[in-house]
Amino acid sequence: NGRNPIAVIVPCHRVIGSNGTLTGYAGGLERKAWLLKHEGITLL
């Protein structure tokens, strides 16, 4: 919902759907995927 003004410090981008999909990131799913990959997370 875009309420986290410091998303990189408070990592709401790490929240994923219960089925493992990327969902609900105000910065867009492409940015969310980039952040996770940048942190070393492998996406399926």
| Domain spans of the chain, in order of start | 1-44
- φ, ψ of residue 28 to 5 degrees: the values are 100, 150
Give me the average pLDDT of each 10-residue run along the chain (44 residues).
75 85 88 92 83
pLDDT score of 3: 79
Active site residues: 12
Nearest to 33 by CA among 19, 14, 6: 14
Position 1 scores a pLDDT of 60
